[in-house]
Amino acid sequence: MLGPRIEGERGIALITPTLDHLKRNVEWMTRPETTRFWGVRAMDLRPEHAEKRFGENATDPTLVNWTIAFEGEQVGMTGLFHIDWITRDAESGIFIGRHDLYGKGIASEAIRLRTRFAWDELRLRRIHNWIAMRNRGSRRANEKAGYRQMGRFPRSWYRSGQWHDEWLGEILNPDWV
Ligand SMILES: CC(C)(COP(=O)(O)OP(=O)(O)OC[C@H]1O[C@@H](n2cnc3c(N)ncnc32)[C@H](O)[C@@H]1OP(=O)(O)O)[C@@H](O)C(=O)NCCC(=O)NCCS
């Protein structure tokens, strides 16, 4: 599913993705500054694959996908994936492609907006994620939105000559009965 527009603070908003947004994200994903904390990922990043992927994102009932906008411009994307509608659990992810804008609070605000939507509109019970321990920016942005460590996965993946531990985080809906 493609998420609806949600206005946040300080010029940050989640907006409905377009095919052009996806193509731009894919371009950003080919740069080392944006993917150095990712495990080995085999993805089809060819532009001709983007249309198929956009269609799948739009129709998949187990995900909600947003473009992140800052001062009216696309800067990245975020989403809830693998939504299990029975246990009401989902995995979350975030990607800011504009690395010149890191550290300005964009991810923290995007995660706050996404989490509120998960509770207020989707009525989810829990969201979890996996973050490389070395990816302090991602861990902090999630912690600021209320995520807490539920575990740690030592030597989860190997890249560029070293093992990486992962931080397993979760947030629970405080209103869940
Ligand atoms: C990780 C990422 C989402 C952070 O986005 P951001 O908009 O820079 O995050 P924020 O500005 O909201 O910062 C959140 C916190 O992390 C800190 N931070 C951000 N980047 C950091 C870095 N490179 N090193 C150390 N701390 C960092 C900020 O200072 C802030 O902490 P504070 O409020 O305690 O000072 C962004 O760098 C990104 O998309 N990277 C590439 C893709 C990726 O790694 N995605 C996450 C996969 S799990």
Going by alpha carbons, the residue nearest to atom 2 of ligand 1 is: 138
87 — alpha (psi -120 to 50), left (phi > 0) or beta?
Answer: alpha
User: Is residue 166 in a domain?
Assistant: no
Question: What is the total count of domains within the chain?
Answer: 1
Residue type (1 letter), 124: L
Atom of ligand 1 nearest to the CA of 138: 1
- Axis crossing angle, helix 47-59 with helix 19-28, rounded to the nearest 10: 120
Going by alpha carbons, the residue nearest to atom 20 of ligand 1 is: 137
> Which residues span the domain enclosing 73?
6-126
Atom of ligand 1 nearest to the CA of 102: 8
Q: What is the pLDDT of residues 24-35, one digit of tens each?
A: 999 999 888 898
CATH number at residue 106: 3.40.630.30
Categorize the per-residue pLDDT at 177 as very low, low, confident or very high, splitting at 50, 70 and 90.
Answer: low
pLDDT at 43 over 90: no
Average pLDDT over residues 73-98: 98
pLDDT at 46: 85
pLDDT at 73 over 70: yes
Beta bridge partners of 7: 13
Q: What is the pTM (predicted TM-score) of this model?
A: 0.96
- Average pLDDT over the chain, rounded to an integer: 95
**For ligand 1, is residue 137 a contact (CB within 6 Å)?**
yes
**For ligand 1, is residue 156 a contact (CB within 6 Å)?**
no
User: Is residue 170 in a domain?
Assistant: no
- In our burial notation (b when 16+ CB lie closer than 10 A, e otherwise), range 74-92 reads bbbbbbbeebeeeebbbbb
User: Is residue 145 in a domain?
Assistant: no
User: Is residue 161 in a domain?
Assistant: no
Going by alpha carbons, the residue nearest to atom 19 of ligand 1 is: 137
For residue 107, how far is its CA from the centre of ligand 1 (angstroms)? Answer: 7
User: Is residue 31 in a domain?
Assistant: yes
Beta bridge partners of 164: 157
Q: What is the pLDDT of residues 86-107, one digit of tens each?
A: 999 999 999 999 999 999 999 9
Element (H, E) at 141: helix 136-144
pLDDT at 32: 87
pLDDT at 40: 74
Average pLDDT over residues 46-62: 93
pLDDT at 168 over 90: yes
**For ligand 1, is residue 152 a contact (CB within 6 Å)?**
no
User: Is residue 69 in a domain?
Assistant: yes
**For ligand 1, is residue 95 a contact (CB within 6 Å)?**
yes
User: Is residue 138 in a domain?
Assistant: no
User: Is residue 12 in a domain?
Assistant: yes
pLDDT at 47 over 90: no
Q: Which of 3-7, 61-65, 134-138, 157-161 has the lowest mean pLDDT?
A: 157-161
For residue 48, how far is its CA from the centre of ligand 1 (angstroms)? Answer: 31
For residue 23, how far is its CA from the centre of ligand 1 (angstroms)? Answer: 23
Of the candidates 152, 145, 141, the one whose C-alpha atom is nearest the C-alpha of residue 172 is 145
